[in-house]
């Protein structure tokens, strides 16, 4: 416990605080682009992942480090979000597919602050993978080279969603923000231009997610005691 207190607030948490993630990013220096061509790894990322058992006792500690380039999103995710990767069987067991977007139209990124203007560092973003909305979860593929070999699915169960934020417009795209119960948000856009005059694709997708979220328990009603 004393060691955890020294580490401070984790950068990422698993469901029910089943694990904590601590990470950092640093620049290695050098020239990153030569004639618009990617030229090696120029950043340095490291991450500590601490897992806990059902009694909240540390069950494992994993430390990883990687030379990478943040601009091409191949660094370790400091929040540990890649731990949620699942295979095709999990997708098939998650109910009927409500919406599907192919690899040419999807972009996603994670934000610890849930503010659209705060773009991530540490590789917590990607594009080019399919996005699925099922009756029980959101799935998206992580196609970043060197981070997720085989492009497994990432998953966010509806049970893990605290709320779906209003559609946000960055001036070019419309983004759907999903606030997680464990902290932070997932932002997704499906390559549809903002449409201020109509019911846009982003608004339709947001409404679909909201409908299938589990019902929240009613807030306790405060009563005045009878004297």
Task: With CA atoms as reference, report the closest residue to 12 among 51, 43, 45.
Answer: 51
Any idea which of 34-38, 66-70, 147-151 has the lowest mean pLDDT? Answer: 34-38
Report whether pLDDT(224) > 60: no
Residue 173, classified by CB atoms within 10 Å of its CB into exposed (0-12), middle (13-18) or buried (19+), is middle
Any idea which of 106-110, 182-186, 193-197 has the lowest mean pLDDT? Answer: 193-197
What's the pTM value of the predicted model, to 2 decimals?
A: 0.59
Range of the domain at 146: 2-212
Residue 103 or 26, more confident: 26
- Of the pLDDT bands very low, low, confident and very high (cuts 50, 70, 90), residue 161 is very high
Percent of the chain whose predicted confidence (pLDDT) is above 70: 68
In a 3-state reduction of DSSP, which class is residue 30?
coil
- Find out whether 152 and 86 touch, Cβ atoms under 8 Å: yes
Q: How many residues does the chain have?
A: 227
Report whether pLDDT(179) > 90: yes
Residue 71 or 196, more confident: 71
User: Looking at the domain assignment, is residue 223 inside a domain?
Assistant: no
pLDDT at position 90, please? Answer: 78
DSSP string, 124-165: -EEESS-EEEESSEEEEE---TTTSTT-PEEEEEGGGEEEEP
Taking each continuous run of H as one helix and of E as one strand, the counts in the chain are 3, 16
User: Looking at the domain assignment, is residue 7 inside a domain?
Assistant: yes
* Chain segment 66-107, per-residue pLDDT in tens: 787 766 666 777 877 666 666 677 788 888 888 887 755 678
pLDDT at position 18, please? Answer: 82
User: Looking at the domain assignment, is residue 220 inside a domain?
Assistant: no
Q: How much is the average pLDDT of 176-184?
A: 89
User: Looking at the domain assignment, is residue 174 inside a domain?
Assistant: yes
Report whether pLDDT(121) > 50: yes
pLDDT at position 183, please? Answer: 84
User: Looking at the domain assignment, is residue 91 inside a domain?
Assistant: yes
Q: What is the CATH number of the domain that holds 62?
A: 2.30.29.30
- Of the pLDDT bands very low, low, confident and very high (cuts 50, 70, 90), residue 128 is low
User: Looking at the domain assignment, is residue 224 inside a domain?
Assistant: no
Report whether pLDDT(222) > 50: no
Count of domains observed in the chain: 1
User: Looking at the domain assignment, is residue 218 inside a domain?
Assistant: no
- Of the pLDDT bands very low, low, confident and very high (cuts 50, 70, 90), residue 217 is very low
Residue carrying structure tokens 């929240």? 216
pLDDT at position 177, please? Answer: 92
User: Looking at the domain assignment, is residue 50 inside a domain?
Assistant: yes
Task: With CA atoms as reference, report the closest residue to 124 among 143, 140, 109.
Answer: 109
Other CB atoms within 10 A of residue 168 CB: 17
């Amino acid at each position: 416990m004393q060691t955890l207190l020294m580490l401070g607030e984790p950068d990422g948490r698993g469901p029910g605080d089943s694990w904590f993630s601590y990470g950092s990013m640093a620049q290695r220096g050098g020239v990153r682009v030569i004639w618009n061509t990617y030229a090696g790894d120029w950043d340095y990322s490291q991450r500590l992942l601490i897992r806990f058992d059902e009694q909240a006792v540390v069950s494992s500690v994993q430390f990883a480090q990687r030379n990478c380039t943040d601009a091409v999103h191949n660094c370790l995710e400091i929040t540990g979000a890649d731990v949620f990767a699942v295979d095709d069987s999990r997708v098939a067991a998650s109910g009927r597919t409500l919406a599907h977007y192919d690899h040419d139209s999807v972009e996603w990124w994670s934000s610890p602050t849930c503010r659209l203007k705060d773009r991530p560092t540490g590789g917590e973003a990607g594009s080019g993978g399919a996005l699925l909305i099922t009756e029980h979860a959101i799935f998206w593929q992580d196609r970043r080279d060197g981070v997720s070999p085989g492009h497994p699915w990432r998953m966010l169960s509806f049970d893990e969603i605290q709320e779906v934020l209003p559609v946000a417009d960055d001036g070019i795209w419309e983004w759907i923000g999903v606030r997680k119960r464990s902290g932070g948000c997932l932002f997704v856009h499906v390559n549809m231009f903002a449409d201020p005059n109509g019911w846009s694709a982003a608004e339709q997708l947001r409404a679909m997610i909201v409908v299938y979220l589990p019902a929240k328990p009613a807030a306790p009603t405060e009563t005045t005691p009878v004297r």
